[in-house]
Amino acid sequence: MSEPANRSLVGSAPVVIEPDWLGPTAFWQPRFFPLSAWVEHAPFAFWIADAVRPRVFAELGTHYGYSYFTFCEAFRRLGLETKSFALDTWQGDDHAGAYGEEVYEYVTGVNDREFGSSSTLLRGYFDDSVDQFADGTIDLLHIDGRHGYEDVLHDYESWRPKLSERAVVLFHDIAEHQEGFGVWRFWDEIKTRHPSFTFEHNHGLGVLGVGSELPETMVRFFEVAAREPERVRDAYARLGADLSAIVAGRDDDAAVRVALEERGAALEERGAELEHAEQLVAAAEAENLGLRQQLEAVRASTSWKLTAPVRKVSGVVRRRAD
């Protein structure tokens, strides 16, 4: 075997590049790090974005947007023309908890600034938007909404007709067995019906090859992963752990990172408002200058000089009347 073409992110044991299931993109780092339970799956997200190269990507359940923006960033860096869609109520649920409007404002701010030309946020329940997608059009679907068994079953069955012949579906939280979580149960049922692979780290991530004409890279991924599952799991778990270490090293409080990004967005917006105000002031000054120039022209005119005695008499009459 040749020497490793790359190493894990913070200098742990070398990770050998394997084109069929681990490429250079797996070593990329996301630009945005909002609060998320998905942090350690970014290496695989970057890799599968390159492997599938979707024409349409949809995510059911976005919250602060870590996974969604990781995919959007991957598509942009790869030079793809992927149309991306994030679906969420942005109000919270039983597991994420309820939260305020600030979450949606943050996601909207990042989306508008960074990915507005290729990304669309669809606010509401998943069922509200499913009919906006033509059947057979989604190449990559990430399901991370409500985590009860009936919930994920409904989401998959509702969106199944929208999947293309090349489609791959990702399921988060398949390793969570605490009360209220039933994704693991659904995953146990569905994973034998199609080519699949199970990542167990970071709450678990299920990879399901639903399409009948999967991209060749994905076909090879499932073949290798079936033969050497622990090797594949170990490589991505280590890359994910390294990424978590980098996040922790940058800032121990993820909420601070979010606040700083929100503050930056607010400052940008405020700067735009100030620029607009300055333009209005400049326009007003220009208008005032024009009026002054017109008045000076009138005062310099012959008619103004000839009517000076009349204006003087009128002034005296007004003062006497007062």
Q: What pTM does this model have?
A: 0.74
Name every residue whose Cβ is closer than 8 Å to that of residue 61 and which is 6 or more positions away in sequence: 87, 88, 142, 143, 144, 145, 146
User: Which residues have CB under 8 Å from 90's CB, separation 6+?
Assistant: 62, 63, 101, 103, 104, 107, 123
For the stretch 232-268, pLDDT in tens is 999 999 999 998 888 777 654 445 455 545 555 555 5
Beta partners for 6?
A: 15
The DSSP result for 98-123, as a single string, is E--HHHHHHHHHHIIIIITTTEEEEE
Q: Structural domains in the chain? A: 24-250 (3.40.50.150), 264-321 (no CATH)
Side chain identity at residue 212, one-letter code: S
Q: How far is CA 201 from each of CA 6, 135, 206, 236, 262, rounded to the nearest angstrom?
A: 22, 33, 11, 9, 29
Q: 25: which 2 tokens? A: 């993109």
Q: 311 pLDDT exceeds 70? A: no
Number of Cβ within a 10 Å radius of residue 14: 12
**How remote is the C-alpha of 269 from its chain's centroid?**
19
pLDDT tens digit string along 63-89? 999 999 999 999 999 999 999 999 999
pLDDT for residue 313: 45
Residue 66 CB burial class (10 angstroms; 0-12, 13-18, ≥19): buried
